[in-house]
Structure 1
Amino acid sequence: MREFAVPPVVTIGDAASLTDPVWDNAEAAPDAVQFARRTSHGWVDVTCAQFRDDVVALARGLVAAGVEPGDRVALMSKTRYEWTLIDYAIWSVGGVTVPIYETSSAEQVAWILADSGATACFVETNTHALAVAGERDQLPALGEVWQIETGDLDALGERGASVEAAEIDRRRRAVGAGDVATIIYTSGTTGRPKGCVLTHRNIYSDIANAIPGLNNLFRPGASTLLFLPLAHSFARLIQVGVVTARARMGHTADVKNLVADLQAFRPTFVLSVPRVFEKVYNTAKQRAHGDGKGKIFDRAEAVAIAYSEGLDRPGGPSLAVKLQHALFDRLVYGKLRAALGGQCTDAISGGAPLGARLAHFFRGVGVTVYEGYGLTETSPAVAVNLRKAIRIGTVGRPLPGVTIRIADDGEILINGAVVFERYWNNDEATAEVLDSDGWFHSGDLGELDADGYLTITGRKKEIIVTAGGKNVAPALLEDRLRAHPLISQTLVVGDRQPFIAALVTIDEEAWPKWRASAGYPETDTVADRRDDEKLRAEVQKAVDEANKAVSHAEAIKVFRILPRDFTEATGELTPSLKVKRGVVHKTYADEISAIYGG
C-alpha cells in the first residue's frame, strides 16, 4: 500500500459559500470584466458588478416564486451565460442546483426530477419543456418550469421586484460551507444515474486549493471559452474557478463552429477532454498531408515532442532541437496556436487519459496541457499537473488538502474535504464506495511514484481477464488506437476469451479525405468498405502501434471495423464522451461473437 498527502493551502471556513466571490468581486473590482455574453452583435462584456446585479435580480424572482432554502431546482440547458447566472441565483437563495444534461432522454429527465424531488425547473428549449411536460404526472413535487429561450428569466426578474434585495443578502449569508450546493447525477456508463451530493465546502475547497498552483490560468486578465457541458462537474469547477479568480469567461455550445469562436474570443486557456485534443491534432496532420506538406508536419511534430521531452531533462533541449523548434514555430506551431485564438498557452484536460505523446506534442507547440484526474464524487478534481509540478504521462500529484492511497489491489482511494457527502436517497450505494474512515473507493486503478505523481492504469470493473488468466487494462490500447487520424472510437474486448480483440469506428470527418485518397466513389460509406483491404491495412497500422505498448499476451490479435461511429444519440457515449462499454457490448454482441467464432 502506498499513500501520498499534500497539506491544504486554503481551509474553507464554516460560514463560506460559493457565492462569496461574486459579492467580493463586485465590491473590489466592480468594473472588471467577469463574463462575455454572446449576442448577434458579437461578444458583450459583463462586469463583476453587472453579474452580481443579474444574480440578485433572478434570485429575487426565485424567492417570489416560493423557492426555499434547501429546495432542489433543476437546470437543463446547453452551456451559456444563463446557465451560470441561474446556478449562482439558486445558490444565493440557499437552493440546491440539480443539473441535467440537455441531451438527456425524457426517461432520464423524469428520473432525475423525481429522485431529487425538484420543486422547480429551468429548461432552455421547447424540446426540453416538452420532455418535462410529458412526465409531469410522475412529478408531484415539481412546481413551476421556466424556459430560457422564451424570456422567462426576464419575467421572473420582474416578478421579483416585490422582494427586497436585502432578503437575498440575508438568505445568502445564511448559507454555510456544510450546506448542500448541488446534486450532480453521474452520466453513468452503467446503470441508473446516482445523485452525488456536494456541499459548498466540497467544491470551494477543491478550487481554492487548485488556484495557487494554476495561477497562470486562474488570474485577473486570463480568459477562457467554456464549451463543455456545465452539467458536467469538470466544467462546473472551472466556472467556479473563473469567478473565484476574477478571470473572464465566455460560453458556447456550438462545437461545429468552435474554431471560429475560439479565434473570435481569443482565450488564454481552454478546458477540454482528450478527444478534442486528438481531433485538433489529427485534423492538422491530415490537412498537412492532404496539401502535400506531410513531411514538414511530421518533422515539426517530431521536433515538438523532442523539445518538450528535453524540457524535462537537466539542461533542457539540445541546441539543435532549439534551432529546429524556432524554425517550425514560424512555419507550423504558430498556425496551430492560431486555431485556438492565438493567445492560448495553457489547457486543462480530464475525463480520460490524454497520452504522453499528445501531451508532449502540444507542449512543444506552445500549449501546455495540464492533465488531471477526478470524479463527480470528489468535486471533482483530486490530482492535477501544476505549472511548477508537471510530469507528463501522469495526472499529477494530489491537490493540496487531498490524500491518495493505493490499496493492495491497486484501487485508488481518496480522502479530504473534496470527497462527497453521500448519494442522494441511496444509502446502499454510498456504503459501497465510502468507508467508515471517510475514504472514497474510486473503482479506478493507479500507481503513485516516489514523488507522489499518480498514473491511472485502468478501472477495476473494466479489467479484462483472458481465458489464459492474463489481466489486461483496455484503456492503454484504446487510447493509442484513437491517436490515429482515421479512428474515432474503439472498444477492446476479450474477457474470458483466448485472445484480445478490438471494435473500431471510423472518424466521420476524416472518412471523406481518406476515401478520396484511396480512389473510392463519394457515395461509398464506412459500412460499404469496412472489410476493404486498404482500410483494414490503415487500421492495422494503428493496431501495430498500440501493440508496442503491451506484451504479446495483451496485444490485439483481431479487430473489426464497425459500420458507424458511437454517438451519444444512439446510447454508446455519455455526454462527456466516455464509451458505455455495456451498451456497446450489447449492441455489437454479434460482432464480438463473430470474432471468437461464435
Structure 2
Amino acid sequence: MLSERLIHTLEQSIKEHWELPAFSDYQGETFTYAQVGWRIAYLHEVFRRSHVKQGDKIALFGKNSANWTISYLAAVTYGAVIVPILPDFIPENVQHIVNHSDAILLFVAETLYENLEGAEMPHLHGVFSLSDFSVLYHPKKQHFEQTLRQAEAAFPPLNNPGLTPDKFALPAIQNDALASIVYTSGTTGFSKGVMLSHNSLIANVLFAQQNMPLVAGDTILSFLPLAHCYGCAFEFLFPFSVGCHITLLNKTPSPKVLLQAFREIRPRLILSVPLILEKIYNRQVKPALNKPIIQFALKLPIIRGILLRKICRKLTDSFGGNFTEIVIGGAALNQEVEQFFKLIKFRVTVGYGMTECGPLISYAPWNQHRPQSSGKTINFLEATIDSEDPRQIAGDILVKGENVMIGYYKDPDATRNTFVREQWLNTGDIGTIDEDGFIYIKGRSKNMILGASGQNIYPEEIEALLNNLPFVQESLVLEKQGKLFALVFPDFDAADAKGVSEAQLPDRMEANRRELNKRLPAYCAVSKIELYPKEFEKTPTRKIKRFLYTIHENVS
C-alpha cells in the first residue's frame, strides 16, 4: 500500500493552487480551485443531509463537464464510492448499472434523465442535476429542497474570505478504501464492475507526476470520456493534482472539432486514441506525401530534411503547438503511421493499460519509445509473460502491483477466473516483453474493439442482440477502418417458413440493422450487415474462429 494518500494529494492541490483556474466548460464557465473546494464542501454537506455513509455508492451519468468532475471529487473525497457511467449507454443499461452497483444517489444530466425510468431504479434515495445540483427526484422532494436551502446557507458566497486555503480540509480516507466501480459494459449478463481502490488511483497519479511533464497553470483539453479510466486518470485526476487548468469538451470529438479546440486551448499534454491520429494522417498527411513533386523532393537529402521538419511543424501547430507529447492509449498505433511520426520526430508515444489497472500498465516518453512497443512497465507494477521464452514467444500478459483492481463487484467467479497463480492478473492480451521491460502486444485474447473516443466495444454483446432478430442464425461483428460491420449467416429455414426469399434477405437484414442500432449506444452502431453463405467455423468449444473472417465492404 502506498504511503501517499489520494485524498491528501487532492486536498493539497486545492490549497496550493487556490486562485488558479481548475475547470472550464469549453466555451463556458470557469471554476478556480477555490470554487471547486467550496463546491466539494457544499456537496459533502448535501451527502450528510442525505444520510450518505462512507462506502455508499453514488452514480454519475453525463458528458464531460466541470460539474461532472466536481461531483466525482466530492464523492471520492467524502469516502463514498463513485460509479461513473458512460453517457452513450442506453437507458436500460444505465438503470441496470445503478441497480447492480447499489447506488443510492445519482448525479445526472437533465437531458439524459428524461429517458430514464425512475421506477426501474427503486433503491435511489435522490437524483441531482449536473447543471446546478438541484433536486430532480427525492421521495420527499419539497422537504428535501428546504433542507438543501439550509445547507446552502451554511456556505456563504464563493468570494467570502471565511473559506480560505488554511481552513479547507478533507476527511482522512485511507488508500485501501474502495474509490470507484467502473463498468466495462452496461448489458445484463455482460457487465463487470471493476473495483478500484484509492491506492489504484493514486498509483496512476503518482506515476504521471513523476514521468509526464506538467506543472501548475498548464492547459489540458479533456475530450476522452471521463467515465473511462484512461481519460479520468490522465485528463482529470493527474492534471488536477498538479494545478493544471482543464477545459472539458462537451461536444463529439470529431477531428474537425478537436483541431479547433486544440488551437484555442493549446494543451500542454494530449491524450488520444489511435483512430484520431490515423484519420489526420490519412486525410491530411498521406495525400500530400503521395503527390509526385513531394515524392521527388523526398529523394533529395537536403530538401528531404527541410520538408520533413516543415511537416512536423505543421502537424505540431495543428495540435495547438504547445504540447510536450501526445500519448496514445487503448490500442496500437498503425505501423505505417508510427513509422512516419518517428521519421519526422513528431512527439507521440504509445502506452498500454486496462480498466482493471485504473488503467496504466506501461508507458515511455516519446523520445524513449521503442517502435511497435506499448511502453515500459510502470514502476508500481510487475509484468510477466506466461511463456517459455517471454522475449521471443508470445503468451498471456500478466501483471500485479499497486494499481491492480480489488476485483469485480458482486462477481467472485469472474474475479477468481481473472487472477491466476500467486495473484497475477491475466490482462487477456498476448505479447512479449524485452529485457528492459518494454511490452509488445501481439494480439488480443479478448475480442474487445476500441471505439473512436476510447470506449470499450464488446462484439459478443452486439451479436447477442443481433442473433435474436428475425432470420439470423448466427452473427459476427467486426471492425474495419473505425466502423462496425456484421457478418450474418441467415436462418434459411425460418425465412422459408415465412415465405421470405433469398433475394429479400438483404432488405430484411437492413431492417434488422436499424432495429439493432436503436438498442445500442451510438458508438456501437453497426454500419452494414453482410450476408455470409454458410455456418462460421468454430473451435471444439463452439466459439467462432474470429481470425478467419474479414469484411469485404469498401469503407475508404
With the length of structure 2 as denominator, give the TM-score of the two structures: 0.73
- Aligned CA RMSD, in angstroms, stands at 4.1
Q: 1:427 offset after TM fit, Å? A: 0.5
CA distance in 2, matches of 1:87, 1:137: 25
Give the residue type in structure 2 aligned to 1:89: A
- Cα distance 1:273–1:177, how it changes in 2: closer, same or farther (>3 A)? same
Work out whether residues 34 and 48 of structure 1, in 8 Å CA contact, stay in contact via their aligned partners in 2. Answer: yes
Residue in structure 1 matched with residue 274 of structure 2 by the alignment:
274
1:392 Cα deviation from its structure 2 partner: 2.3
Letter of the 1:129 partner, please give it: Y
**C-alpha separation in 2, matches of 1:573 and 1:145:** 24
Q: Please name the residue that 1:236 is paired with.
A: 232
State the SS of the aligned residue for 1:393.
Answer: coil
Distance 1:573 1:329 in 2: 44
User: In the alignment, is the contact (CA less than 8 A) between 1:36 and 1:249 conserved in 2?
Assistant: yes
Task: State the alpha-carbon separation in 2 of the partners of residues 32 and 103 from structure 1.
Answer: 32
2:115 corresponds in structure 1 to 131
Aligned residue identity for 1:160: A
**1:26 corresponds to which of 14, 27, 36:** 14
Alignment counterpart, residue 81 of structure 1, candidates 66, 91, 97? 66
C-alpha change, 1:157 and 1:236, in structure 2 (3 Å) is farther
Shift of 1:451: 1.9
Which residue matches 1:348?
327
2:122 — aligned with what? Answer: 140
Say if 1:411 and 1:442, in contact at 8 Å, map to a contact too: yes
The offset of 1:321, in angstroms, is 5.5
By how many angstroms is 1:18 displaced? 2.8
SS of the aligned residue for 2:115 comes to helix
Matched, 1:325 2:305: yes
2:438 matched to 1:453?
yes
Q: Which residue number corresponds to residue 291 of structure 2? A: 294
Match of 1:395 in 2: 374
Is it true that 1:379 corresponds to 2:361 in the alignment?
no
Amino-acid identity (%): 24
What secondary structure does 1:137 align onto? helix
One-letter amino acid of the structure 2 residue matched with residue 231 of structure 1: A
- Contact 1:22–1:52 at 8 Å: present in 2 too? no
Change (3 A) 1:418 1:424: same
The alpha-carbon deviation at position 296 of structure 1 amounts to 5.5
Describe the shift of the 1:159–1:570 C-alpha distance in structure 2 as closer, same or farther (beyond 3 A).
farther
- State the 1:356 CA deviation: 3.4
Pick one of 412, 415, 418 that aligns with 1:433: 418
2:151 is aligned to 160
* Distance 1:189-1:405 versus aligned 2 partners, 3 A rule: farther
Equivalence map 1:256-275=2 (5 Å): 256=254, 257-275=257-275
Q: Which blocks of at least 5 consecutive residues in structure 2 are unaligned?
A: 137-144, 156-162, 388-393, 460-475, 486-508, 537-548, 551-556
Checking the alignment, whether the CA contact within 8 Å between 1:345 and 1:366 is kept in structure 2 is no
Partner residue in 2 for 1:178 = 176
Question: Structure 1: which amino acid aligns with 2:517?
Answer: T
Is 1:245 the counterpart of 2:242? The answer is yes
- Output the CA distance in 1 between the equivalents of 2:330 and 2:515: 16
Partner residue in 2 for 1:554: none
Confirm or deny: 8 A CA contact 1:407 1:413 kept in the other structure.
yes
Give the 5 Å matches for 1:180-199.
180-187=178-185, 192-199=190-197
What is aligned with 1:220?
216
Q: Is the 8 A contact 1:57 1:157 kept in 2?
A: no
Query: Residue 266 and residue 170 in structure 1: after superposition, are their counterparts in 2 closer, same or farther (change >3 A)?
Result: closer
Pair 1:103 & 2:81 matched? no
Partners of 1:228 and 1:253 within 8 A in 2: no
Q: Could you say if the C-alpha distance between residues 370 and 285 of structure 1 is closer, same or farther in structure 2, counting changes exceeding 3 Å?
A: closer
For 1:210, the equivalent position in structure 2 comes to 208
Letter of the 2:431 partner, please give it.
Answer: G
In the other structure, the counterpart of 1:58 is 43
Letter of the structure 2 residue corresponding to residue 147 of structure 1: S
CA contact (8 A) 1:62 1:160 kept: no
- Please say if residues 22 and 48 of structure 1, whose CA atoms lie closer than 8 Å, have aligned partners that are also in contact: no
Tell me which residue corresponds to 1:12: 2
Summarize the alignment of residues 577-588 of structure 1 with structure 2, pairs less than 5 Å apart: 588=530
- TM-score scaled by length of structure 1: 0.68
Q: Give the drift of 1:159.
A: 5.2
Matches of 1:86 and 1:210 in 2, distance apart?
23
1:48 aligns with 2:65: no
State the SS of the aligned residue for 2:373. coil
1:89 to partner: Cα distance: 0.8
Asked whether the 8 Å contact 1:219–1:247 carries over to 2, the reply is yes
Q: Distance in 2 between matches of 1:188 and 1:120?
A: 18
Q: CA deviation at 1:372?
A: 0.9
Q: 1:391 to 1:571 in 2, by over 3 A?
A: farther
> Matched residue of 2:330: which SS?
coil
Structure 1 residues 390 and 288: alpha-carbon distance in aligned structure 2, compared to 1, 3 A threshold: closer
Matched length: 464
* Runs (5+) with no aligned partner, structure 1: 1-10, 304-319, 463-473, 483-488, 492-500, 509-525, 527-561
SS at match of 2:281: helix
Q: 2:306 corresponds to which letter in structure 1?
A: A
Which whole-Å CA distance do the structure 2 matches of 1:350 and 1:72 have between them? 29
- Distance between the aligned counterparts of 2:82 and 2:296, measured in 1? 49
| Separation in 1, partners of 2:175, 2:242 | 19
Q: What SS is found at the alignment partner of 2:349?
A: strand
Tell whether 2:38 aligns with 1:38: no
| 1:571 to partner: Cα distance | 8.4
